[in-house]
Amino acid sequence: MTIHKEGRGLILATTTIVVILNVIIASVPSFFSPTVYSILSTSMLVVSIVVLVLVLQFFRLPSIEVIKNEKQVLAPADGKVVVIEETEEPEHLKSRRKQISIFMSPINVHVNRMPVTGTISYAKYHPGKYLVAWHPKSSTENERTTIAVKMKNGTEVLFRQIAGAVARRIKWYVKEGQPLEQGDEFGFIKFGSRVDIFLPLDARVTVKIGDVTKGGKTVIAEF
């Protein structure tokens, strides 16, 4: 397991601040009684370790083996399935689709992966609000990206990265016309949030509400 590139700067800054604070505490024991100093220094060390561990786990990048299958749709993110419904996709597909939404908590891996193999047919970033990720209007009013991929059989699958109340940094690495393989990394949402995916109505959903998914591993639907 490695650290994702999106976290390297923050990890360096956090480590620097933590080291400086601990050095300051270590250099001023004369201002406190031995008991108070011991409690203060131990508390600072414990807090420092917890903060570093949390930041490191936010940006972990585990290696995975992607089993590619053109008849399957893989989860675009680690998280929990919170929505499965038929709905209208008004931005690009402009048709009825099956929507599957995956909520990414702060403890999930935050990498977003291609659900299918194909060529990026649409990619657009939308600035917006920061409603909580499960809010009904978050998919249309929050900061988000909308990305569609056209498979070789002509089927288009659309997925949307949605920011939340905490997650305010959406990263995407694709552009229109770019070919990508199933399981390839297409983006990253710092500190978690939500990913919506819109599938054809004849797709057979293989997950249910509450299921836990692994990006690039869990099969969420089949054609």
What residues act catalytically? 193
Q: Quote helix, strand, coil % in the chain, to nearest 5.
A: 25, 35, 40
Whole-angstrom Cα distance, residue 101 to residue 109?
Answer: 16
Sign of CA dihedral 112, 124, 162, 8: positive
Whole-angstrom Cα distance, residue 95 to residue 99?
Answer: 12
Q: What is the dihedral of CA 79, 82, 84, 85, to 10 degrees?
A: -140
Concatenating the DSSP letter of every residue in 87-118 gives EEETTTT-EEEEEEEEEPPTTS--EEE-SS-E
